[in-house]
Each structure stands twice: as C-alpha cells, then as structure tokens.
Amino acid sequence: MKRTALAALSVAALSATAAPPVVGLITKTETNPFFVKMKEGAAAAAKAQGAVLLTAAGRTDGDNLGQVAALENMVAAGARTILITPSDAKAIVPTLRRVRAKGVQVIALDSPTDPLEATDALLATDNYKAGVLIGQYARSALDGRKPVIATLDLFPGHPVGAQRHNGFLQGFGLKSLDINSKLLAQPSEVVCMADSYGDQAKGQTVMENCLQKNPDINLVYAINEPAAAGAYRALRAAGKDKGVVIVSVDGGCQGVRDVGAGAIAATSQQYPLRMAAMGVEAGIEYARSGRKLSGFTDTGVNLITARPVEGVASLDVAKGLELCWGKK
C-alpha cells in the first residue's frame, strides 16, 4: 500500500481469523476536534461490530490531493465503503465517480459534494434546521427590539454556510432563501454581512469592521462558535457585549462553555460521533447484504442555551457539555 505525506493511512481494527468488512474514513484534517470526535465514533462502531476501519486525513482543510490519495489507498486496501468529509466539494467528484464505478459505496459525512449525487448518501446535520433554531431563539431573545443584524458567514458558495445563514433568517421571520440556495439572503435588517471563514481571529476583525459600519448592531449570527467567540471579543472591547445577542452553530465543548459564560446566547449542537457511527453501520450492512445507503439522513441537532425562551425547545448547558465534542 502506498503512503503519502499528504494523507497518512492507519488501521484501527484488525481481525486475524476472518475477512471482516473494511470501511474507510477520510476527514478534512486530523486535529479539528469535530473530526477527532468523528473518528472516535467510527472506531467505536467498527470495534463493536468486528469491522476494519481505515482512517486518513489531509494535512490541512482544503487538501483535496491528500483526500484523493487516501481514497486510492483505501480502495487498494479492500475498502468496500468509504466515508468522507470532502475538503473540496467539486474537485473530489471525479475521483469519487471512479471509486463508485468499482462498486465501492461512498457516503459523505457533514458536508455534501457538489453535485450531491456524487456520493451514494449524506449523513449530516440539517444545517437549515440548525439555523432556524437559533433564528427562532434570537427573535424571542431580542424581546421586541428592532433587529439590527450582523452575519459572520463562512465563505461564498458553500452549501453549509448558505443553509445556516438562510435558516437563521427564516427562523427569525425575515425574508430568506430556501434550503437549496447557495446564495445568502440579505434583508434590510442585516446591516453588515462578511465572511469569517469560521475563524476566531477573522471573526473578531469582521465584527470590529461591522461595528464601525453600524454601532447599533444588537444581534450577531455566526457560522460557528470560534467566529462567535471572535465577535464577542470585539463587542467586549467596544463595551457593547451586554446589549448584543450572539447565536451560532456547532456544539463543541468550548462553544458550550461560552454559552454557559454568557458570551454566546445560544448554539445549535451537531453530533459528529453519531454521523460516523451511522456511516460505519451502513458500511457493514453493504458488505453483508449488498444494500447501499441512499439520500440524506439527518443526524440530529439541538439548541443549547443557559436562558431558555418560551416556544423554542432547548437543552441546558449541562446536557450540552455531556453531548459536546472537543476538550471537556
């Protein structure tokens, strides 16, 4: 089996007596806590059911070449199912098509390919629903105040970023776009809209710029909790942290702690461990029966907040910490 510097392949479970199902897991990186938890879920499911799990990752987010090398290695190693969080939703498609033509089942985790049909199935958070939940919460939390909104988005054209953004606006009750759009709606209530790339430092800079543009912002939507943390730092430095509601999506342990501390009002929590475990189970089923998973499967989302509001179902911080991913 060939090895590359871009994607290291490791065997997580082996059986010396039979030919167990072989499932591959390829994540964007090995260090992001979200993908670490995903790998834990896949490893536990494979061990419990006697499967071989092959794991690999690119060196950085966006490392399509590393993911391509990992795919080729895993097929050569006998994987009948490959689970992948695509770093580049379009660039990976030709390789996926070649792999599937060989009878390999390919399931996307967390992020879809473009087009969606490039994989057999998608196991992921309903990101539009995640946005709707925090939008509904934010509307109630503003308590009748006119919304003056800043959105700290991902980057242009990303389906997950668009779904969370547009879902948030839909949940708030503002003019929005549907779940299939890759564009970002911008009703008049959104006075500042900028890309944070999900990064804390960029989120802080974006929020600083938004405050210079409109110091009356009272609601911030952030694509994830690192961007939300950056926004909070900028607001606190400007002495405006007490009057602004910040909402986000992810549910990582640090993000949930930020909810408990009051830096983030609410976050929609997603479940990477469940995604990966379900993917491994689908791989084992395909190896044993020949039945492939198809379509989209929602792996669940819950609103986490320390201050629940009427009419919006939520879990408290203690439960959020119990279910979170990353360093507890």
* pLDDT tens track for 209-267: 999 999 999 999 999 999 999 999 999 999 999 999 999 999 999 999 999 999 999 99
Confidence check: pLDDT of 44 > 60: yes
At residue 303, the pLDDT reads 98
**H or E element, residue 69:** helix 64-76
In the DSSP assignment, the letter for residue 146 is P
pLDDT bracket for residue 6 (50, 70, 90): very low
pLDDT value of residue 5: 36
- Encoded tokens for 41: 């879920």
Task: Round the average pLDDT of the chain to a whole number and report it.
Answer: 93
In the predicted model, what is the mean pLDDT of residues 185-213? 97
Tens digit of pLDDT for each residue in 245-254?
Answer: 999 999 999 9
- pLDDT for position 155: 86
Q: What is the mean pLDDT of residues 158-165?
A: 92
Give residue for tokens 């996307």: 108
The answer on pLDDT for 17 being more than 50 is no
Helix axes 272-289, 33-49, angle to 10 degrees: 40
- DSSP class of residue 197 equals T
Name the residue ranges covered by the structural domains of the chain: 10-125+272-293, 127-270+303-323
Would the CATH topology of 10-125+272-293 be identical to that of 127-270+303-323? yes
**The predicted structure's pLDDT at residue 60:** 84
CATH superfamily of the domain spanning 127-270+303-323: Response regulator (3.40.50.2300)
What is the per-residue burial (b if ≥16 Cβ within 10 Å, else e) of 159-171?
bbbbbbbbbbbbb
Question: How many Å apart are CA 216 and CA 212, to the nearest integer?
Answer: 10
With a cut of 50, say whether residue 131 has pLDDT above it. yes
CA atoms within 13 A on the CB side of 96: 29
Pick the CATH number of 10-125+272-293 from 3.40.190.10, 3.40.50.2300, 3.30.160.100, 3.30.70.20: 3.40.50.2300
Cα 294 from Cα 142, distance rounded (Å): 41
Determine if the peptide bond prior to 115 is cis (ω within 30°): yes
pLDDT for the residue numbered 9: 52
Per-residue model confidence (pLDDT) at position 18: 55
